[in-house]
Amino acid sequence: MSSYLNYILPIFYFSLVWAYGKAFFADQLWAKRAKTPLLIGTLTFHGLYLAVRTIIFQHPPVTTVFEIFSMLAFSVTATYWIIELRSHRKETGYFILNIAFFFQLASTFFIKDTPVVPEILRSPLFGAHVSCALIGYAASTIAGAYSFMYLMLYHEMKASRFGVIYKKLPTLESLERMTMTAIKLVVALLGVAICFGIVWLHHVYQNAHYDDPKLIGTVIVWMMYGFLVVARKYFAVQGRKIMILSIAGFFISIFSMTIINIFFSGFHKFY
Amino acid sequence: MNLLCVGISHHTAPLDVRERLWFSSDEIRRTLPLLKPLSAGESVLFSTCNRTELYVLMENGTIEPDVLKKLLIAQKSAAGKVQPSDMFMMTAGDAARHLFRVAASLDSMVLGDVQILAQVKEGFNLATELGTAGVFMNRLFQLAFRVGKRTRTETEIGEGAVSISYAAVELAQKIFDDLQKRTAFVIGAGETAELTATHLRGKNIGKLLITNRTQERAEQLAQKVHGTAIPFNSWCDALAESDIVISSVEVNRYIIQPSDIQSLVRKNRNGPLCVIDLGVPRNIDPQIKELENIFLYDLDTLNTMIDENLQHRKAEIPKVDAIIVDVLAELTQWYSSLEVNPTITALTQFMESIRQEEVAKNINRFNPKDRELVELITKRIINKIIHAPIVNLRNGQETSLTERLQKMSAIQKLFGLAKSSKEDSHAE
């Protein structure tokens, strides 16, 4: 059953991105009306899929990269829904949900069924570590998406082009504020995830070492985002530079989660 | 529909003619009561910058439009200066459609003008206060307001700035969220600078600094827009604390150079700066556009933006037309329902439906042999109850249109007939 749901899920995400895109670029009334119900429907279906998978495999789907990708798609979509509810602004959905769609698509095609979970992954500390890291990465994705929107609007305004991007996106100040809020969340959550991870590491390995590429990658990402917060607050670095660094941070996060995790990881490789 | 509309607008007469027919509230108060003796059952008169329009519900359909035109001209003592031929006239559905177009701002000089609806409302409220707007005008104008409201919410006809000064403010609003926390610096005190400063004040700009080579003029403008005048030679300091700079002075050289902006960066002022150059020749070196976080716009850019916005507004016209057709159909349906025969039919059907419902509920309590009798008796009761109202309604056809409309409207409201007929139409 879980595999059926797994293949239906990207169709939900595709329809969602399609509706948000049609509403943003073509101003179509049906899309404007359909997008939020579709968002709630997709989240419900995704929640059902994750629950079914948890029941079937007897562990939360956070133990492999592509399970985490699916969780990430869910977290990004859920976070976006909260933003939409709170801000009453629905224009940014297309850009954020596109990323969720690609996370889910990758997960759907590459996810493997893992009925047996190593004992070390059953620790509550591991759960806290993964949850914080997951929400941190979701925040990083959202910061990246808002930064991308900022740069698009920035260039449109610099070039005096007053098309759909100019008309539909929120103000530059809003986009910068939302990016910075997401970046602060990344710093806080990845920081906590790293701390939990280190404590858990000592708990499960007698001779713990810190040269794991995934750990180093995550610390670099965390420091990079931390630098952005400090630079913004104390050195008045604003606008375009912050956004470029935020997008770079997002790509390094993805690199750390995928390439490093799959090909170079030390103790982060559990299977 | 015995509706007649006469008026003057930018489509029919130039400004120097139509300004002669502009009615103040007091003048409207004096004019509307004069229409009653002319068999005007109900009337509404309003004036805006570009139009004066009089809507009259004729009692017998006998008022000559020229009589109304001449009355308006006479009331303003504009004979000889304004001719009846400068004015337009419309009747029935055309007049209603015209009012809806006015409320939707399709007929405005600036397509999508947001002020027109408030001005029409003001005119209607005045007529209500004077008692010249009755059942018909109330319905007509409420529908017009609905057209105006739907136009604002369902279309983008009012979106985007269509004047230079407003476009300048709109650009700043696309960069900054809340202008209340921002400082704007206006260089110049001419007409364009004043309009822009007024718009900025209207958008609750936090701090408004004004400078001009003639300090006195800067102070006058500052007083007008609740700003602060600063000496022309200290504009560099003002620049350092500004988020928005608007320059509109006549100069032969650039007054703001890239080096001025770079010096701001050295002062740790890195945030976005919106610079609007409304001067001809240009006041600000276009090279500053290359600097990071600096958004520079000149008159050409603003004109392009306005053209694009106007095109966008024009593209929305079919959507507004569809709303007007929709609401016009509702008006026509409502008006037809106020005719005597449809009202009688609706009342009879209403009573009969109650009778049938009650009989159906209770018929099993009677012996089978009595059931036919129950049908007969209840029918007789209903017929007797509605006999007198029906006779009165039929006899009332000779009374004035306004009275008849009031009577029909009252019956429909009392028995909820309008509601049920609307439900029927939706069901269809």
Model confidence band, residue A264 (pLDDT cutoffs 50, 70, 90): low
Q: Which stretches of B278-412 are assigned E, i.e. beta strand? A: 294-298
What pLDDT is recorded for position B243?
A: 92
pLDDT in tens, B216-262: 999 999 999 999 999 988 888 888 889 999 998 888 888 888 888 88
Active-site pick, B5, B49, B236, B274: B49
Mean pLDDT of chain B: 85
- Rounded to whole angstroms, how far apart are CA atoms B228 and B413? 59
What pLDDT is recorded for position A208?
A: 67
Distance from CA of A238 to the nearest CA of B (A): 6
Domain boundaries defined on chain A: 1-113, 121-271
Q: Is the dihedral of CA B135, B141, B143, B149 positive or negative?
A: negative
What pLDDT is recorded for position B399?
A: 63
Assigned architecture for domain A1-113: Up-down Bundle (1.20)
**Angle, to 10 degrees, between the axis of helix B135-154 and the axis of helix B317-337?**
160
Radius of gyration for the alpha carbons in chain A, expressed in angstroms and rounded: 19
Cα-Cα-Cα-Cα torsion B410, B412, B415, B420, nearest 10 degrees, comes to -160
User: What are the chain A neighbours of B316 within 8 Å (beta carbons)?
Assistant: none
Would you say residue B338 has pLDDT above 90? no
- Rounded to whole angstroms, how far apart are CA atoms A131 and B128? 64
- Rounded to whole angstroms, how far apart are CA atoms A96 and A75? 11
Asked if B371 has any chain A CB less than 8 Å from its own CB, the reply is no
Model confidence band, residue B422 (pLDDT cutoffs 50, 70, 90): very low
Would you say residue A124 has pLDDT above 80? no
Task: Please judge whether A167 and B160 are an interchain contact, meaning their C-beta atoms are less than 8 angstroms apart.
Answer: yes
Task: Please judge whether A173 and B175 are an interchain contact, meaning their C-beta atoms are less than 8 angstroms apart.
Answer: yes
Asked if B16 has any chain A CB less than 8 Å from its own CB, the reply is no
pLDDT in tens, A233-247: 888 788 888 999 999
Query: What's the order of all strands across the beta sheet hosting B294-298?
Result: B228-229, B207-211, B183-187, B244-247, B273-277, B294-298
Read off the pTM.
0.71
What pLDDT is recorded for position B423?
A: 43
Check: CB of residue B246 under 8 Å from CB of residue B185: yes
User: What are the chain B neighbours of A166 within 8 Å (beta carbons)?
Assistant: 174
- Rounded to whole angstroms, how far apart are CA atoms B298 and B247? 10
The pLDDT > 90 percentage for chain A reads 39
* Residues A111, A115, A121: CA angle, nearest 5 degrees: 90
- Closest chain B residue to A150, measured at CA: B175
Check: CB of residue A221 under 8 Å from CB of residue A252: yes
Q: How far is CA A227 from CA A183, A193, A194, A251, in A?
A: 10, 18, 17, 16
Token pair, residue A148, equals 């991308």
Distance from CA of B326 to the nearest CA of A (A): 18
Name the CATH topology of B164-301.
Rossmann fold (3.40.50)
Task: Please judge whether B304 and A240 are an interchain contact, meaning their C-beta atoms are less than 8 angstroms apart.
Answer: no
* Residues A115, A118, A123: CA angle, nearest 5 degrees: 115
- Closest chain A residue to B306, measured at CA: A162
Would you say residue B42 has pLDDT above 90? no
Would you say residue A10 has pLDDT above 90? yes
pLDDT in tens, A49-97: 999 988 888 777 877 778 888 988 998 999 888 888 877 778 889 999 9
Radius of gyration for the alpha carbons in chain B, expressed in angstroms and rounded: 31
Distance from CA of A241 to the nearest CA of B (A): 9
Would you say residue B341 has pLDDT above 50? yes
Name the CATH topology of B3-159.
Beta Polymerase; domain 2 (3.30.460)
Portions of chain B given CATH number 3.30.460.30: 3-159
- Rounded to whole angstroms, how far apart are CA atoms B212 and B210? 7
Name the H helices within B57-190.
65-75, 92-103, 116-130, 135-154, 164-175
The pLDDT > 70 percentage for chain A reads 90
pLDDT in tens, B14-30: 888 888 888 888 888 88
Annotation marks residue B236 as catalytic: no
What pLDDT is recorded for position B176?
A: 93
Check: CB of residue B279 under 8 Å from CB of residue B250: yes
* 3 state DSSP class of B48: strand
Model confidence band, residue B398 (pLDDT cutoffs 50, 70, 90): low
Residue B357 dihedral angles phi and psi, to the nearest 5° = -60, -45
Portions of chain B given CATH number 3.40.50.720: 164-301
Considering only residues B274 and B370, tell me which one the structure prediction assigns the higher pLDDT: B274
- Rounded to whole angstroms, how far apart are CA atoms B241 and A5? 57
User: What are the chain B neighbours of A241 within 8 Å (beta carbons)?
Assistant: 292
Mutation for A interface: B270, B296, B297, most A CBs within 10 A: B270
What pLDDT is recorded for position A271?
A: 45
Would you say residue B373 has pLDDT above 80? yes
Of chain B residues 161-220, which have a CB less than 8 A from chain A?
171, 173-178
